Amino acid sequence: MDIVSAKPTKQEQSSVIHRLIDIKSPNDGVYSAGDFVKDAKQIIKNSAFPIIIQGGTWFYIKSLLDNKDLFEFGKNEPLREKLSKKTNEELFEILKQKDEARANMVHKNNRDKVIRSIELIEALCGKMSEIEQPENEKFDSVWFMKNVEREELYEKINLRVDLMLKMGLFEEWQSVYKKYGKNDILYNTIGYREFFDLESGVYPNFDVAVDKIKQHTRNFAKRQLTWFRQNKEKFNINFVNNEEEILSFLDI
């Protein structure tokens, strides 16, 4: 999944030490925020140098720096099978009855998160919202976010998708599809999902599928921007225009 994930090139990886790349197979299941927190803490603990955490998956980074341990419970397959037969509205009503405060934090149509919340509530034998997680290591961190106007960002996203196609994004999807099949990991990846849907007849042609990749990526970026701006003060996020401003801020 090299192109679709915008993975650093081999040349880039050789110039700076990179961690947590190529550590899982698409058939190994979901790499959760809890998995990331464990692995990242181990790397930070064993490093003699400052660590740069880079990426767009802000929930994983937030989980690491929130100074909290995540709930660690495995899947309750019998419960999941029972819940899978219910509609989104029914599931959300169950969650509201069990933990209304938690329900207010989850979108009713986010089926996976609603089911996982119910599952955790059952495992905890209590409300998630009322159970404080124990503190763990506290990291001295500084957040930086690229200061970019939304329209400029959207244009960059469109150009990036075009470049990914030139680099062989469609051929990469064909390769991983042949190797791993249509599993949840691949299907839930923006840039692959649209080609699966194209094959299934959801989209009439290749160009429409490509437009959907751009649209879904823009939607994802919009949610990221909204989160960063809403949490600017809480996490002391510094919006910068270029690398020079970062270096100046760090006095390097």
pLDDT in tens, 62-100: 878 875 555 666 678 889 999 999 999 999 999 999 999
Q: What is the DSSP letter of 73?
A: -
Helix (H), strand (E) counts: the chain: 13, 2
Specify the pLDDT at position 234: 80
C-beta pairs of 191-198 under 8 Å, 24+ apart in sequence: 191/3, 191/4, 191/161, 191/164, 191/217, 192/1, 192/4, 195/170
Please name the helix (run of DSSP H) or strand (run of DSSP E) that holds residue 240, with its range, or none.
Answer: strand 237-240
Q: pLDDT per residue over 199-225, tens digit each?
A: 999 999 999 999 999 999 999 998 888
d(CA 79, CA 211): 38
pLDDT in tens, 117-162: 898 888 777 777 766 555 556 788 888 988 888 899 999 999 999 9
Tokens of 242: 């270029």
Percentage of the chain surpassing pLDDT 90?
Answer: 50
Instruction: Look at the pTM and tell me if it is higher than 0.85.
Output: no
CA distance 102 to 59: 17
Integer CA distances (angstroms), 216 to 171, 194, 212, 213, in order: 20, 9, 6, 5
- Tell me how far CA of residue 162 lies from CA of 84, 109, 208, 211, in angstroms: 38, 31, 13, 10
Quote the distance between the C-alpha of residue 192 and its chain's center.
15
The CATH architecture one would assign to domain 142-249 is Orthogonal Bundle (1.10)
Q: How confident is the model at residue 43 (pLDDT cuts 50, 70, 90)?
A: very high
Report CA 200 to chain centroid distance, whole Å.
25
pLDDT tens-digit map of 228-240: 888 888 888 899 9
Count Cβ neighbours within 10 Å for each residue of 96-133 and write b for 16 or more, e otherwise.
bebbeebbeebeeeebeebbbbbbbbebeeeebeeeee
Domain boundaries, the chain: 77-130, 142-249
**How many Å apart are CA 192 and CA 170, to the nearest integer?**
8
Contact predicate 113/124, CB 8 Å: no
Q: Are 191 and 182 in contact (CB under 8 A)?
A: no
What percent of the residues of the chain are helix, what percent strand, and what percent coil, each to the nearest 5? 55, 5, 40
Residues with Cβ within 8 Å of residue 189, at least 6 apart in sequence: 1, 4, 5
